[in-house]
Amino acid sequence: MQRQLIRRVAVAAACLLPLAAMSLPSHSVSAHSSAAHLRKTLRVGIVLDVGGIDDKGFNHMAYMGGQAAQTKYHITFKYVQTTTSSDALYYANLSRFARQGYDLVFGIGFLMEPSMYKVAKAYPNVHFAIVDGAPTDAKGNTVNLPNVANLFFREQESGYLVGYMAGLMEKNKVGAAKHNVIGAMGGLSIPPVNRYIAGYYQGARAADPSVKILLGYSNSFTDQSVSLNLGLHQASKNADILFAVAGAAGLGYLKAAQEKNIYGIGVDSDQAYLGPYMMTSAVKKVDQAVLETIGNLVNGKFKGGDNSFNLSNGSTGYGTVGKMVPMSIVNQVAAQAKLIASGKLVPTTVIPKQ
């Protein structure tokens, strides 16, 4: 009888242990992370910016990173596209995933910095990540939060390399590059865009100190008609190479290069598929950053605060090089890339005064 009683008590205690564990509240990121590891499927939400999934660059690559993570880590993920640049809408989209208990929520773009701060403070047990930025408070101050991974790229490295290529093309008067003038167009004058352009200036002038650079902004990441007209205007001023840094709007700018039989340089993704007029692309592997951040959470290595993506870890650089570029120039650009990756050459983040 005594042995049977002891056995029954032991069985009852064992049955109660899982219930006790399930009732423990999660009050911290680390506790939430442990719960995520015990759950069968990790849930990830991605809030795209106004360029949307079809921008052929920045937002599309974030989506592709989510797709890759779904295959590699067996997560499930959903995305929502922001229709207008609005703090209220950014916050609504980010908080929607957080309220639903998603394990990791991405904000894709610098413009989400204020909203990211508010939502991360409101949901401290949810992990967040923001591409190209960090949480900023109501006064515009950057505030590193333990539950937010700030995913920064050294766009100036990619900009420098494609600028160096453009400068060498002009210096050697290769093909359509014969006027010693090149162009660039940003979507908005914001840090991630301007880092690309700053590097472009520096690289072009390192290769050809006398090159003239035309710069304009479409003030939009979606309006392709405005961008087309800006590209046509720069082409009329003898620009032989056009560098687009404007998401989906950049497709209109590059269309001007195609129409005028000059050369285009894409941005973020490898945009060689646009046609043989594409000289190369300044690459920024947003998909890799999204995949890596998800993997870090899966493996218990999520890192709040700044996370750097650069040439040394294969996250920046340039894409497919067009056939119009001589191998001698390709080799010179590759040599510059080695200097940057080694730290011997540090591209600037500041656009020079005109």
What's the sign of the alpha-carbon dihedral 145, 41, 25, 90? positive
> What pLDDT is attached to residue 8?
41
> What pLDDT is attached to residue 9?
36
Which residue, among 279, 186, 185, has the nearest Cα to 233 in the 3D structure? Answer: 185
Question: How far apart are the C-alpha atoms of 89 and 235, rounded to whole Å?
Answer: 37
Which residue, among 293, 231, 252, 287, has the nearest Cα to 103 in the 3D structure? Answer: 293
> What pLDDT is attached to residue 196?
98
Backbone region of residue 109 per phi and psi (left: phi > 0; alpha: psi in -120 to 50; beta: other values): left
Q: Which residues of the chain register pLDDT less than 50?
A: 1-38
> What pLDDT is attached to residue 40?
60
CATH 3.40.50.2300 assigned to 28-153+286-314:
yes
User: Up-side HSE of residue 205: CA atoms within 13 Å toward CB?
Assistant: 13
Per-residue pLDDT reduced to its tens digit, 51-103: 888 877 889 999 999 999 999 999 999 999 998 889 999 999 999 999 999 99
Domains 28-153+286-314 and 155-284+324-342 share a fold: yes
* H helix runs in 139-270, sequence order: 155-171, 191-207, 224-236, 250-259
Helices then strands, each counted (H, E), the chain: 11, 12
CATH 3.40.50.300 assigned to 155-284+324-342:
no
Cα torsion through 174, 178, 181, 185, rounded to 10: -60
> What pLDDT is attached to residue 85?
87
Domain spans of the chain, in order of start: 28-153+286-314, 155-284+324-342
